[in-house]
Each structure stands twice: as C-alpha cells, then as structure tokens.
Amino acid sequence: MEISILRLSHRIVRDKRVTTHLALVGRAFCAKKMYYSGDRDPSIENKIREVNERFGGDFQVIYIDDPVKFVSNWRKEGGTAIHLTMYGIPLTHLLDELRRKERILLIVGSEKVPRVYYEIVDYNVSITNQPHSEIAAIAVFLDRVLDGLEFTHEFSGGAYRIIPSSRDKKLIRIR
C-alpha cells in the first residue's frame, strides 16, 4: 500500500512549523509524498531534502495549485481520498476496509476545511471526535493502517544512523 498526504491551505508564516512537522511525520511514518496547497514555501521542501540527505529515504514535498482538481484526479486514477476530520467516522470502524486499499491520499486542513472536501472524498475519517492536531491524526492513521511499519522500516541512502540507546545520543556516520 502507498499513502500520500495532502496538506491544504498552507500559510507561510502561521503554518510553517506545523506543516514542517506534518512532512517530517509523513516521512518517518512511511508515507510516500506530501503534496501541499496554499502558499508555496520552498523552506519546507528544502528542510525535508536536508533530512533525507542526513537520514535517508526519498520522501518528497510537492506544491500543487489546484487541490480540488488534484483530489478528483486522484480518485479518477483509482486512488482513495480520505479527509481526516473530527467530524468523521472513527478510524477504528474502518480499519479493515482501509487496509485493503492500494493508494490512499490523506487530506488535512490548516484552519477550516472548505465544505467541498467533505463531499468529494471517499471517506471522512476521525481520529477521535475531539479537537486536536492534524499532526497527531496523520501519525495515528499511518501507525495503525500500516501496522507499526515506522518502527521497523529502514531508510536507505542517508549519511547518518541513530543507534537506539537508553541514556545516550548515538549517531553514527555511515557514508
């Protein structure tokens, strides 16, 4: 299965850190790509390239200018579009069904998500029906749908690797 993220309406000042966290979580939790709309922000794309160089993998951050069309095309090409929202159906009710999908696009907003997304997606899914964070929602979705893959996945091609340690910071250079 292949999962990508679509971050809607990025605002360059207000959202920089949250959108960067989203991309880092996408990468660490084994999504393939993060698309984003709103303000184009090369600093986020550069940040992720830098992390790939240090720690491996080829996670990409890609700007798109027409997210509604992008979602429609995703579905036309056979992919599944899922909007993560506190108003949706709990992930636990859909887990078996979603695990059988081949290509998933996970959509998260910044502030209020326009009505149209609730309508054009295949699923509106909640990670609790409480307000919290799109970063947490993406992490728990990926952890559960990919069944903990992030704990065993190894990224290739990076300059460094961390050796888990109970007290120390063990970072070794591998190339």
Distance, in Å, from the CA atom of 174 to the CA atom of 11, rounded to the nearest integer, reads: 37
Q: Which is nearer to its own copies, 46 or 128 (CB)?
A: 128
Angle at 166 between CA 160 and CA 133, to 5 degrees: 75
3 binds its own copies (CB under 8 A): no
Binder among 12, 14, 73, 157 for its own copies (CB under 8 A): 14
Tell me how far apart the alpha carbons of residues 55 and 103 are, in angstroms, rounded to a whole number: 25
- Amino acid identity, residue 112? K
d(CA 122, CA 143): 20
Considering only residues 27 to 66 of the shown chain, the ones binding its own copies according to CB under 8 A are 27-29, 51, 55
Residue from 2, 128, 157, 159 binding its own copies (CB under 8 A): 128
- DSSP percent split of the chain into helix, strand, coil, nearest 5: 40, 25, 35
The 81-120 site mask, x for binding its own copies (CB under 8 A), equals -----xxxxxxx-------------------------xx-
Q: Which two tokens stand for residue 23?
A: 């991309």
Tokens of 152: 């065993």
Number of residues that bind its own copies (CB under 8 A): 52
**Least distance (Å) from its own copies to the CB of residue 22?**
8
Q: Say whether residue 168 binds its own copies (CB under 8 A).
A: yes
What SS3 state is found at 141?
helix
By CB under 8 A, tell whether 143 contacts its own copies: yes
Q: Which residues bind its own copies (CB under 8 A)?
A: 14, 17-18, 21-22, 24-25, 27-29, 51, 55, 86-92, 118-119, 123-124, 126-133, 135-136, 138-140, 143-144, 148, 150-151, 155, 161-162, 164-171
